[in-house]
Structure 1
């Protein structure tokens, strides 16, 4: 199944409290569980929080499923890119 990188531009998000982050994660998990029950297999892998954005990695059947999750959860999905390959320092070996 394809993997996606999502950019969520959210000014000041890097200053959210751990309680706010936990609440956002709970919201995301609830929407993902609801989507699973509806037969939409979307998985949240991890997210990276910067000062003004969250960059998330998801596994989903298509971009629309990623955007549906964002809409339902109330999160922005400013840019959604399908990940074509992964490279790391070991790629050079």
Structure 2
């Protein structure tokens, strides 16, 4: 499988919608398409229009697998790019744990 970046601009109205889509995405990927797609991580962004968008990192067999997974989930999946290489200057920052109240 190859590594891909998938852009999903302004796909969700709020974080609750995103969380629901994420749960569906993980379930479909893990249970129905595990030989074709593997979700690695997502970077969630606030879009200029006030909606939520993502940049998702996936391993996938091919572009058709990305499209099919997105179709089954019911989310955008047409804007994606095969990763040529990865340059890591620093690892992702680790957020400090939130204290329990």
**Are residues 78 and 62 of structure 1, via their aligned partners in 2, closer, same or farther at CA, if it must alter by over 3 Å?**
closer
Q: List 4+ stretches of structure 1 deviating above 2 A.
A: 19-22
Distance 2:78 2:37 in 1: 18
What's the counterpart of residue 70 of structure 1?
70
- State the TM-score, normalized to the length of structure 1: 0.78
Greater share of strand: 2
What's the counterpart of residue 2 of structure 2?
2
Quick one: higher RCO (CA 8 Å, sep 6+), 1 or 2?
Answer: 1
Shift of 1:63: 1.0
- State the TM-score, normalized to the length of structure 2: 0.72
Q: CA RMSD in A?
A: 1.8
Number of residue pairs the alignment of both structures matches? 84
